[in-house]
A and B are shown apart, each in its own frame.
Chain A
């Protein structure tokens, strides 16, 4: 479906992405994680050719997008904000988009508008943040793309709307085999939706793996000690998720027997091994440099 090969990009002299490679298959929902400024949005903008890569190629079904931008009829990018939409109503936006995207399905768009009760006569800028996101998604899906690039689609919306937005995405993938590349700070959303995830860290895409595999790879250990072992744990570079008095929660790779032995040698009074969630893995990976 979409393939990124050795993609590099520097902005204002700062290397944002370096030799990033990734393939997303049909019907796959891929979650792109990373801290603010790690290059997630830049990666989406590179795919959509809003900016050009310094090196590397991006292929859609084997066709290089830069040389054949017409293939972007199959790719829709939904940014965090879309100021272009602001002054138009739903009908006006449909009128513009259906001339650009030949497969634009007006009937489907109307159906989704009715389903989510989005006002059709209001201008985009007059809608609430949640409704703006929903309208953008409706227009994106109605263009019948094969791949949708979603940048923070659930950012700034309430729980109910978020549920609707996520459901809309899940339905779309289930019904039409659409591929989705999604960035989000809401790890629970990523965890709920994505088949695979990847971490953008130090300009590179790391730990691209199946979400279940990732969770299987780590283990959370809750321990209680008689003495303060904080420093000892820190010295071993073991990510500490929480400490409350003598109770410690740490996260280590399941296969790291060396660290596990070290912790056992500290003679904990309590030892509980628990499954991890994505947020804990994320904090362990990205919070580590700051916290320990």
Chain B
């Protein structure tokens, strides 16, 4: 391990970092004893349902709740007016660090005057059971006057377009530019300029467990809120600001979280409404998002339109890239514009690009609000860059891998400073990585060089096979910090407390492994408490593939501090020089002699006894809390090669082989890393070929069940071949980089590259995802028709 001084000789427990150890999370989850949000049972718990807008844009003329209130078993039917005495504001606060230019962007706790998307929460029903709550919700009678709808972000900018909410002057929420270098000069001097219009459509996060909130009113005016969120501390700070409750009387806890994938990053209206209603009614309340609610109220992402031009020299070296991007923000913006900002600053990826300029419009539409879904802007960025490189390669007749090789940042230029800024304002510095070597390695593994021959043979048999590749870089480990505390209890049990959120990714096991090695114990004896604001005072949570780097670094340093303190205390108690002592299996022992003392005993001594002596020169407590600070990002990279076969009569794409290289620095637990990469790739396969959140021209959602919105199942994916490099991150004490999103980011680009390659006999170009079989069928048909009309143009 980078910079470690953990002992390795003669110890009971072999170091666990780097080992594929089974997870400490698994036992309860395998036996049905996990505790997810809906598993929480409290005395006299009441159940909630929301009445949601059936219209994409309408004025609310009247809300009649009388029939609903009269239904037996109903305790309350609440509108915003009813909740207002408990709230400082009826409008949600802007999440994360606020930046300017974003007035009137956040949603309402409940909407009672105007609704701006189908699914917007309007009325909260409280009843004895969810069944009755849903019965009552159906009885709430709302009179609406329809208002004009903005369904397409591009049309939303047109003169005279209706506004998505009447309080706005324009649907343009924000306009900004990023870039550097003299782009116009680059284009003026270019040997070749190519252009394309690209689109990635929106999909949902669809963790298998939806969102959910439980609010418990406790004696003494305390309020405990459980939420299935990635961001318990954020929920805590936001609620403290919104409710008329003192911060110190509030506690937010995440139970077991059944997947995050981005949508649980935001603070939602339901997370404010439930606690407010609980305070109002003085009752314990539960709301569990059902799947239809996920489709119409949980964050969606990826709807961006990119109009791009690329300038290259005669060898295909990049000279400049410019364009305009329209980001469909949906009806509200619960967060600042981080996502489109991520996208346009990530476009240049692992490549050297001398000049760059993007003009970005962030545009409201009458659709579900947009924030992050696994990748958070990076998949669109990778899709844009990789598709443009393929365009250059195809037009110039240069191999697609070769054009990338020529433009990749070479390893000897690391660390490499991009002339762009991260959203913290810090320069965007790629800390480490060998992109050309990574690409070469995966190409060799995937048989890239002999594919053309295989393709020709297949074509002779009438089969359309194709290969594609894509590179990606992901800034991981976003700061400014994450809390990590290590504490030894009087029985010697080691506990970790962190502001990181466990949402299925195995963070508890990975943190335990890091801690175990510092304390020379086994990781399975360590307990990890993540996501409890009463146990961890400040923290950030799960986003941007950050927790391994940030929480892992804090836990490592905290465990190291605890180890040092244990040695120091033992030295005093045993009268043995510190240098002669070592930690092993719960004891501090003499390296050569027979004396030892258990960590439990040390903890008992260090917790103090009333009025008795205390070891000289030591602070009380056998524990340490570290909040390792960082402003820099650790850049993970990936290179994926996909092989497909396309049936042109059906437009059917079969992924026949998938080889992915991932470099996320030090792998604390390679098994967990592999799981993240594989799951991420399959999410990307969904984005490329299956997942499509449809809306009609009136912004009515068309895909609100899992029969219409297609999640990838086990029968659609091949066995993924994953290979790994471990370029240690120089900027953090554990050498790790994040891995939660690197699998997803290049996947759609690689697959579409392969599909386009398979269909190269038709000379067609694919500039969007997802591509359904019918879309491909139509593309092939129009290519065939065009070829018939103009036989010379076919490539």
A in complex with B = no
Chain A interfacial positions (CB closer than 8 Å to B): none
B interface, CB within 8 angstroms of A: none
